[in-house]
Chain A
């Protein structure tokens, strides 16, 4: 198999007495959706934050596109091509949908320090911002401030901003949360297409979506990886059933 796009080795993070992340290792390969599941407080968001760069691990290393990025900050990792969405939406509240996406585009194009010229001055860039919004079904909400969006719309804006970065890998922390059934189904279709553009490390509680989408699944419990495998393997794993899935698994 080719080198993984992203690979995490021996990652450990302690908060006081809690070990939120214990010796975690996992890979993300080109073209795959790798789902990360586990109960509340298992350490999924903590792991994502360490990969994205906001949180320094106490031990372990992170390789992305063949280079060790453990010592790089969030900005540098984003520039290398890590596209992240937050579990708790962190879009710019006073900005409209299209302004939020435009911010991401200027970040990607390295034009964010340009003090002249209108931020919306380039027709092609504005068109692109609209296209990303359209892909996440926000076309009729372009000029609505993010703080006035419904919860699910804000989740989709998170994703639109990640898309706008044209990242080399996606880190998505519960993109389906609060979307409702129809919304979740739409997003499932979108994510399924997306994996060909860049692989996705997907944290998700929606098991229908996970088992429909994932090429591989890792189960995290108390900061440890309990098992990694294909959906079928994970479904059949007695340890996983005992610790987490129980009767949640779709047949």
Chain B
């Protein structure tokens, strides 16, 4: 058992060290894996804000992941074909711009989905968020202007000022930096007055109401920030693969993001990061042996849920966490 702070730094440093080692050994595939893990981790950190802190079991976060991906894909498509969007806006592959669009689009999608879904709670909330995710999925499948079922290819990865994003180390570094910023943001939120209220509303909404704070508005605000973060992950994922398709909206993505959180530790800052790392490692190690590697993931998940309530983070660390 180690203090959670030490554990958090070890996870953060471990991922960075792994990437630097891969670079030193010239293993570019490992670097791509590390970037993939970092991006999944961002998506999980986003979900954790809603699920862990807010107690909102969203089974529809693929909607935001996909919205972020499509924002990048659509802007890239218009840039590639030199046809302005709506005949007005030039396409672009500049990451600062595409990320901003992804974040805003994700926040708006979360605002709409959240405003409608948060009228319900419990199992209904799970089902309605799942239903919204599926709506986005089928919409993308039928959206022939942007590839329909086939999705869109991005010929050249988006660019970032001062970096060569085609270099796997640079792209990893970018993803890792975004992950770090998102973690700092979530940590700031967790310690703020908003975090105090959000972690309280999960436990005792009636009490929060009687001190004059609206539980519904708190949850909606958390859901919007959560959706925006997951959309940013989707944007990076699109550039990682240089390909966007309706699969990004698939309910299995929602499930996987949820697995990152549960595996690593619900409401733990680094929980989703640990979960994403373990997920990508298992996928890589077991996926090569058998197509049915998900069975082993399932077994691990079952053990975690049954025996370690704080996920892997909870099993390995001590330190009473607040709320």
Contact = CB atoms under 8 A, between A and B. Distances in A.
Contacts of A79: 212
B204 A112 contact: no
Interface residues of A, number: 36
A84 B189 CA distance: 28
Contact of A78 (B188, B192, B210, B217): B210
B209 interface: yes
Interface string B186-219: 0011011111110110011011111111100110
B213 A90 contact: no
Nearest to A104: B211
A110 B214 CA distance: 11
B232 interface: no
Given A94-B203, A113-B218, A115-B194, A99 B322 contact: yes
Given A54-B206, A112-B218, A165-B211, A94 B323 contact: yes
A94 B208 contact: no
A126 B213 CA distance: 19
Given A79-B212, A112-B218, A117 B192 contact: yes
B322 A94 contact: yes
Contacts of B189: 115-116
A198 B192 CA distance: 30
A116 B187 CA distance: 10
Most buried by B among A86, A92, A112, A114: A112
A230 to B, nearest CB: 30
A4 interface: no
Given A99-B196, A114-B194, A75 B204 contact: no
A92 B200 contact: yes
B323 A95 contact: yes
A188 interface: no
A119 B212 contact: no
Interface string A88-109: 0011111100010011101110
B221 interface: yes
Contacts of B203: 92-95
Given A78-B212, A112-B213, A115-B188, A90 B207 contact: yes
A78 B206 CA distance: 12
Secondary structure call for the B interface = helix
A119 B192 contact: yes
B200 A111 contact: no
Interface string B279-323: 000000000000000000000000000000000000000001011
Contacts of B217: 113
A95 B322 contact: yes
B214 A103 contact: no
A113 B221 contact: yes
B209 A112 contact: no
A116 B188 CA distance: 6
A119 B196 contact: yes
B197 A112 contact: yes
Contacts of B207: 86, 90-92, 103, 161
A52 B210 contact: yes
Interface in A135-183: 145, 161, 164-165
Interface string A63-97: 00000000000110011000010100011111100
A75 B323 contact: no
Given A90-B206, A95-B322, A103-B200, A117 B212 contact: no
Given A114-B192, A116-B188, 9 more contacts: A52-B210, A106-B193, A108-B211, A111-B193, A112-B194, A112-B218, A115-B189, A119-B192, A161-B211
